[in-house]
Amino acid sequence: FERKKVLVLGAGYAGLQTVSKLQKLIGFQDADITLINKNEYHYEATWLHETAAGTINWEDGTYPISKVVDAQKVKFVPAEVTAIHKDEKRVETNQGDFEFDILVVALGFESETFGIPGMEEHAQSIVNPQTASAVRKEIEENFANYKQSGDDNDLSILVGGAGFTGIEFLGELVESLPELTKKHKIDYNKVKVTCVEAMPSMLPMFPEHLGKYAQEYLEKRGVEFLIGTPIVATNEKGFVVKQNDTEKQLEGNNVIWTAGVRGSRLMEASFDGVKRGRIVTKQDLTIEGYDNIFVIGDVAAVMNGEGADARPYPTTAQIAMQLGEHTAKNIKLKLEGEKLKSFKYDDKGTVCSLGSSDGIGIALGREIKGKKAAFMKRVIDSRAIFKIGGPFLAYSKGKLF
Binding site for ligand NAD (CB under 6 A): 46, 116, 160-166, 168, 196-199, 230-231, 258-261, 314-316, 350-352
Of 41 and 313, nearer to ligand NAD (C-beta) is 313
Closest CA to 131 of 114, 116, 109, 152: 109
As measured in angstroms, the least distance from the Cβ of 394 to ligand NAD is: 19
First to last CA, the chain: 48
| Residue closer to ligand NAD (CB basis): 69 or 241 | 241
Q: Pick between residue 230 and residue 370 the one whose CB is nearest to ligand NAD.
A: 230
Give the three-state DSSP class for 289. Answer: coil
Tell me how crowded residue 66 is: count the other CB atoms within 10 A of its CB.
Answer: 11
Burial class (CB in 10 A: 0-12, 13-18, 19+), 189: exposed
Least distance from C-beta 288 to ligand NAD, angstroms? 23
Give min distance, CB of 90 to ligand NAD, in A.
31
Q: How far is the CB of 113 from ligand NAD (least distance, A)?
A: 9
Taking alpha carbons only, the member of 400, 401, 397 closest to residue 41 is: 397
Adjacent-strand bridge partners of 132: none
Of 18 and 125, CB closest to ligand NAD: 125
What is the pairing mode between strands 81-85 and 90-93? Answer: antiparallel
Q: Cβ closer to ligand NAD: 25 or 379?
A: 379
- Does residue 168 have an active-site annotation? yes
CB of 374 to ligand NAD, least distance (A): 12
User: DSSP of 301-362, one letter per residue?
Assistant: E-BSSSSTT--BPP--HHHHHHHHHHHHHHHHHHHTTPPPPPP-----EEEEE-SSS-EEEE
- Single out the catalytic residue among 44, 110, 168, 197: 168
Determine the Cα–Cα distance for residues 159 and 37; give it in Å rounded to an integer: 30
Q: Which residue's Cβ has the minimum distance to ligand NAD?
A: 163
Active centre residues (catalytic): 168
